[in-house]
Amino acid sequence: MSSSSRKLEVASPVPADIDIANSVEPLHISEIAKDLNLNPLHYDLYGKYKAKVLLSAFDELQGQEDGYYVVVGGITPTPLGEGKSTTTVGLCQALGAYLNKKVVTCLRQPSQGPTFGIKGGAAGGGYSQVIPMDEFNLHLTGDIHAITASNNLLAAAIDTRIFHEASQSDKALFNRLCPVNKEGKRSFSDIMFRRLNKLGISKTTPEELTPEEIKKFARLDIDPDSITWRRVMDVNDRFLRKITVGQGPEEKGMTRETGFDISVASEIMAVLALTTSLGDMRERLGKMVIGNSKAGDPITADDLGVGGALTVLMKDAINPTLMQTLEGTPVLVHAGPFANIAHGNSSIVADKIALKLVGPGGFVVTEAGFGSDIGTEKFMNIKCRYSGLTPQCAIVVATVRALKMHGGGPDVVAGRPLDHAYVSENVSLVEAGCVNLAKHISNTKAYGVNVVVAVNMFSTDTEAELNAVRKFSMDAGAFDAVICSHHAHAGKGAVDLGIAVEKACQNITQPLRFLYPLEISIKDKIEAIAKSYGASGVEYSDQAEKQIEMYTQQGFSNLPICMSKTQYSFSHDASKKGAPTGFVLPIRDVRGSIGAGFIYPLVGTMSTMPGLPTRPCFYEIDIDSVTGKVRGLS
């Protein structure tokens, strides 16, 4: 057992998550860092229990061999979730506190929207949590606030540029963009050379430009109807989904309909998650496309002159945050992109640093959002393409509850008591639902990794039901299938899972195989993913056809695909449980996160700004004014 890890005394029944979290005094984060052999020069303390790990840590360890790389996905979930985060944390507690392995958990940072809304926090649960739980679920080290600020700076730049171009001649616009200095001369700022190069203009001083070149350089001529960039905030606020800006008298009637997304839906969050270095982040932020000119050319953040400023706002956010589990094993929390319109995985930077810190024989365990048809698929085809990393093992988290739903059980609705079918033994219903599990196993195995099924056990599950899941998993081609009780028993309840994962990593024999090559067309890539869902074909709306043609003409057809569809079914229809086949997947629209580096087709309607329910989680959240402890977080 490592010096910082510890074994918990557990209580039954399991207390509330926040009560468990508050019952454990976290170690000073310097102790966690010391256990990882992390040089104090390579992290900055943020209070007692958090630290920012600097990118210099990776630079110092570049010669070090990587540890094992494990991704945690899941079966198609119920609206209650099946415990992927809890399993990820529980497995790492088992590896570190019980199996004496070097291990780092890599998790996404949760949005505050769900924390105060309907879902609650995302620190794991029961005796498998990241602590301090309140700090993890709230401001953390300010990364999401940095994303909010940079996103909204770009939004302000867009509307301001349209405003100024509408009221100025080409010459006046150019003169203000390149003002005369104290010596009476004009000059280009460094960022302006990016736009000049894009336009094929090789001149180095403003005086050299012809009137035609001045117009091309200074006038972006943004088509307001083409703008895809929206403002963001990290709160669920349904009344901001659709707004009108520019209603003040000084804006001279230049109103525009737009809206807000939640901050984690910003492309800047996806950029943060997929970047590999500070220089790479600068390039990605500058390449973000906000819309088109009236001539149909893509307009980027660098065209607006703001790419460098966005990077400055994000310069600290690129560093992952070091935290700890209840049992003292290290956690890197970094980035939290949406799992539908984005790829739903924590950052490449955190994974790369962690793999060096654990070294040969150590483990880095990261979670992929939603079911493995979405999260693991995007982990493999998007994240691993950009990182160059290869996982050895993929976990599929399953629950008896979800398998009963896929076998034909009644609807599971958040906030309502579970139907009797879910709390009494019904082996045949479980077996019928295992078709969903089998599809996830076969899809994940296709990438060349060993698949371990983690059956997240609930108190109402029976031995016969659990054995049925285990047998079905092995028959479907899993490397192993393990019953886990980490929610109730901490790392001790996931020791068998840890042993299975180690064996799976040691016995990998195949290279990583992607689902599609990047060189094929956008449609061919979409259809390869649709086929993996079980679709017999794809149907494109007129809008989707138009967008595919536009992105192809603009030179973006070689990007990977990030499918945006419901997480509640392999198909586009959330009511189709199990493993549906023969359906035609409808593509309503196709959009691009060009800076982040993917095209995302929309299958149905996706909300990027959640709303609050009648009784949000915030009713339970308060503070103990004597101790300062947070109460009621879930």
d(CA 362, CA 353): 13
Q: C-alpha 81: how far from its chain's center?
A: 16
**Could you tell me the CA-to-CA distances from 573 to 137, 430, 437, 477, 607 in Å, in that order?**
31, 22, 18, 27, 16
pLDDT digits (tens, 9 = 90+) for 500-522: 999 999 999 889 999 999 999 99
pLDDT tens-digit series, residues 8-17: 989 999 998 8
Whether residue 114 has pLDDT greater than 70: yes
Structure tokens at 128: 């498998």
Distance of alpha carbon 235 from alpha carbon 380, whole angstroms = 30
Look at residue 1 and tell me whether its pLDDT is greater than 70: no
Compute CA distances 325 → 90, 93, 101, 188, 634, whole Å. 9, 7, 15, 51, 16
Alpha-carbon span 412 to 400, nearest angstrom: 13
User: Is the pTM higher than 0.85?
Assistant: yes
What is the C-alpha radius of gyration for the chain, rounded to an integer number of angstroms? 25
- In 3D space, the residue among 331, 395, 406 whose CA is nearest the CA of residue 368 turns out to be 395
Strand 128-131 relative to strand 321-325: parallel, antiparallel, unpaired?
Answer: antiparallel
- Is 567 or 339 the better-scoring residue by pLDDT? 567
Position 108 confidence tier, pLDDT thresholds 50, 70, 90: very high
C-alpha angle 602-604-608 in degrees, rounded to nearest 5: 70
Q: Is the pLDDT of residue 153 over 60?
A: yes
Check: CB of residue 352 under 8 Å from CB of residue 276: yes
pLDDT (0 to 100) of residue 604: 81
- Cα separation, 586 vs 51, whole angstroms: 45
Helices and strands, counts by H and E, the chain: 23, 24
**What number is the average pLDDT over the span 410-426?**
91
Tens-place pLDDT, residues 282-319: 999 999 999 999 999 999 999 999 999 999 999 999 99
What is the percent of the chain with per-residue pLDDT over 90, rounded to a whole number?
89
- Sign, Cα dihedral of 296, 605, 71, 109: positive
The SS3 of residue 165 is helix
Residue 145 has pLDDT above 60, yes or no: yes
Q: Quick one: which of 269, 260, 386 has its CA closest to 337?
A: 269
* Per-residue pLDDT at 416 exceeds 90: no
User: What is the set of domains in the chain, with CATH numbers?
Assistant: 17-141+316-507 (3.40.50.300), 144-308 (3.30.1510.10), 522-602 (3.10.410.10)
The phi and psi torsions of 43 (rounded to 5 degrees) equal: -150, 150
Q: State yes or no: pLDDT of 119 exceeds 70.
A: no
User: Terminal CA-to-CA distance of the chain, rounded, Å?
Assistant: 29
**Number of Cβ atoms within 10 Å of the Cβ of 507:** 11
When mean pLDDT is compared across 124-138, 218-232, 292-306, the lowest value belongs to 124-138
User: Under 8 Å CB-to-CB from 99, ≥6 apart: which residues?
Assistant: 495, 498, 499, 502
Vertex 184: Cα angle to 180 and 188 (nearest 5): 45
CA angle 541, 287, 318 (to 5 degrees): 115
Q: What percent of the chain has pLDDT over 70?
A: 99
Q: What is the pLDDT averaged over residues 34-49?
A: 96
For residue 445, give the nearest of 361, 377, 355 by alpha carbon.
Answer: 377
- pLDDT band for position 117 (50/70/90)? confident
